[in-house]
Chains A and B, each alone.
Chain A
């Protein structure tokens, strides 16, 4: 451990105490960096600070080698080739690059005179996917926003109907940030491939948490986030299939880094951090998924025993092990969060949660505004303990009971 960072605590203990920060149960918004990840990164901030593109000297070469190792670690967790991994500044950029990049390339290079200018996505996608599609719509592309089943899952038959000769890309989130449901990726990919359509999946929440295999599943483009998988913020990646080759028009051009798809000096420590995070998540996935599933079951059991009317939003089985979205009918989620300051939870995706409005995701699943406004998201993570889950259940029980007594009404 390098001395300049010597006072970074590498312990992960977070027990509830009177003045401590709340118990962190918002792991879909961001995760605490794993101490092992931080330790791997730190030397590349200090001793090995070289510019990885300055390969004329050892500082640059050491940095470049570390980046290539990280690229391999990231590829391994989704069973890709390292050459198919493009570093970006995060999943938002990856999603923008995948969607706009594929569309812009298709427009600039029509194949055999065939015009492909149609993109399909779900109404429940992350804002950055919806916004990327919106900007394509402003440029004259056609966008279909498919509704979802009440379970939050895509309807394969409506997807099949929506596909046309003009469709160039389908973008569907692998595991949902707000409700945790896992989409049938292989089935979607098979449909797309049969029609010659590219399939992109925003796997920010899924990578390192559920098994992903871009070959077996037939995924063409896959977005990866680092800070959702116990890595550093400010880095992400996009998987871009090589065979058959997926072509994109870059959003950021310049030095020609990342095979011309993403220019800019690669931030070595962040790349190393994402690589290590991916490797750890991959190695520990099976055991961790089991542990989180047990914790989730324990939490739900505790809460449903006290509140039989509690509603789990989204498919009960096809979901991330650590993620739940719950409605407490008759209780305002906003008031519930304020009434439970000793736990850090949220109503929906972090980037929109500063705005208080019913979740567009829950509404697309058919929830009433009243029920949507009574919903909270809980994200258990690597550092969540059974004691914390029990504590959270007690805190929520107490807060919900108090609010019900006060006659809280969802707004």
Chain B
């Protein structure tokens, strides 16, 4: 009998102890199918660019993986449009820098890897629900005729809020601008259709959908020429040099295939998430779920416990064995308010008390119960404390 992830179900039986992992937007465990695909590669060796037999087998693996990843985007993307890179951050850079447009417009709630890719990027504001203001985008595009690229994520990593990317793409097209969509958080959680999204460039990351870390892709839907970030041996049709991460690519493709097949799982995950939010609302009338009124990913909740710092909550939950985060993983080491919540106009105090809870395919009712127990315990403890302060 396997004791691996597939049979293990929830995270509870892991070596660390009685734990509930609810930080799936930071990274996911490797899917067994990805592990199997990678095992087969680790067993051999070969540089895919070498002409001998081992090299040719490696080449085939990569081309099959390209087809699988392209298929994840709904059939309108050619396999040759898939460029394998080291991850979402690199893909975002390749898109924004490689497209070489004079103007780059990014939504205010983008991941740092988009916000920071281009020094003089113009910011598209969002409304209170975290959704890109289409009027504002229209005005930005209209006021300057230089060739532009618009970048907006499909779903936000901190709040799960989904952008109206088809409408954003239509606006971009109206002004002859390219549209890049960072679909890192959405991929594997909701169905993707590159044609429907209207995106010229789409970013994907493997470790957010059950693949290994260290691999991702930039999908190019049309005949767009990109200037590479790294130059060298001419791999990936000259768009990304460097020996291909063969086990990573194989693991990515295997995970992508399973993720597409198991999208219906997210109906269950959405119910768990809704139960979790209902539990919080029932326990605390002053609790706030960010973006509750707009379309969101089925697995993500950004929940504010007013008056209690997010860092305090995260530490308290950690002690209870519940793992969540105070925001995006990459900036978790930094102290500072979330740029996403600030852009939405969330009150700074409320933003500072907001944590991110994200579920995944192994999440269970027990995980939700564990979280709610920890959340309500902390809430009542802090309420009692704050009440005592007021009394004194």
B332 and A263 contact, CB distance less than 8 A: no
Which residues from B are CB-within-8-Å of A60? 23, 26, 329, 332
Q: Is B153 an interface residue (CB 8 A)?
A: no
What is the distance, in angstroms, from A140's C-beta to the closest C-beta of chain B? 16
A269 and B213 contact, CB distance less than 8 A: yes
From A148-156, A232-240, A276-284, A287-295, the one touching the partner chain is: A232-240
Which residues from A are CB-within-8-Å of B47? 26, 29-30, 227, 350-351
Docked CA distance A21–B43 (Å): 12
Q: Is A141 an interface residue (CB 8 A)?
A: no
Which residues from A are CB-within-8-Å of B30? 4, 45-46, 49
Closest 10 CB pairs of A and B: A351-B233, A128-B232, A234-B245, A255-B330, A267-B214, A254-B113, A131-B231, A89-B86, A264-B89, A92-B242
Q: A-B pairs with CB below 8 Å: how many? A: 288
Flag B279-305 by CB within 8 Å of A: 1 or 0 each.
000000000000000000000000000
Question: CB-nearest residue of chain A relative to B116?
Answer: A253
What is the distance, in angstroms, from A207's C-beta to the closest C-beta of chain B? 15
Which residues from B are CB-within-8-Å of A263? 89, 112-113, 116, 330
Is chain B's binding surface mostly helix, strand, loop or mixed? loop
Q: Within A86-126, which residues are at the interface with B (CB < 8 Å)?
A: 88-93, 95-96, 126
Docked CA distance A257–B331 (Å): 9
State whether A234 and B112 are in contact (beta carbons under 8 Å apart), knowing that A29-B50, A58-B323 are contacts in the complex: no
Find A255's partner among B5, B28, B42, B112 (CB 8 Å cutoff): B112
Which residues from A are CB-within-8-Å of B29? 46, 49
Question: CB-nearest residue of chain A relative to B44?
Answer: A21
From A159-167, A314-322, A338-346, the one touching the partner chain is: A338-346
State whether A349 and B233 are in contact (beta carbons under 8 Å apart), knowing that A55-B332, A256-B331 are contacts in the complex: yes
Q: Is B338 an interface residue (CB 8 A)?
A: no
Residue pairs across A and B with Cβ atoms less than 8 A apart, 30 shown, are A3-B3, A4-B2, A4-B30, A4-B32, A6-B2, A21-B53, A24-B45, A24-B54, A26-B52, A29-B50, A30-B46, A46-B29, A49-B29, A49-B30, A53-B329, A53-B332, A56-B315, A56-B324, A59-B21, A93-B86, A127-B234, A128-B241, A132-B231, A132-B232, A134-B231, A234-B245, A255-B328, A265-B330, A270-B214, A353-B49
Which residues from A are CB-within-8-Å of B248? 233-234, 267, 270
Question: CB-nearest residue of chain A relative to B311?
Answer: A56
State whether A51 and B234 are in contact (beta carbons under 8 Å apart), knowing that A26-B50, A131-B241, A263-B89 are contacts in the complex: no
Flag B144-171 by CB within 8 Å of A: 1 or 0 each.
0000000000000000000000000000
Q: Is A8 an interface residue (CB 8 A)?
A: yes
Docked CA distance A346–B51 (Å): 7
State whether A344 and B233 are in contact (beta carbons under 8 Å apart), knowing that A5-B35, A8-B43, A234-B215 are contacts in the complex: no
B28 and A49 contact, CB distance less than 8 A: yes
Question: CB-nearest residue of chain B relative to A349?
Answer: B233
Number of B interface residues in the complex (CB < 8 A)? 84
Which residue numbers of B lie inside 8 Å of A, CB to CB? Answer: 2-6, 14-16, 19, 21, 23, 26-30, 32, 35-36, 38-39, 42-47, 49-55, 85-90, 92-93, 111-117, 207, 212-215, 229-235, 241-248, 311, 314-315, 318, 323-326, 328-334
B245 and A233 contact, CB distance less than 8 A: yes
Docked CA distance A2–B8 (Å): 12
A350 and B55 contact, CB distance less than 8 A: yes
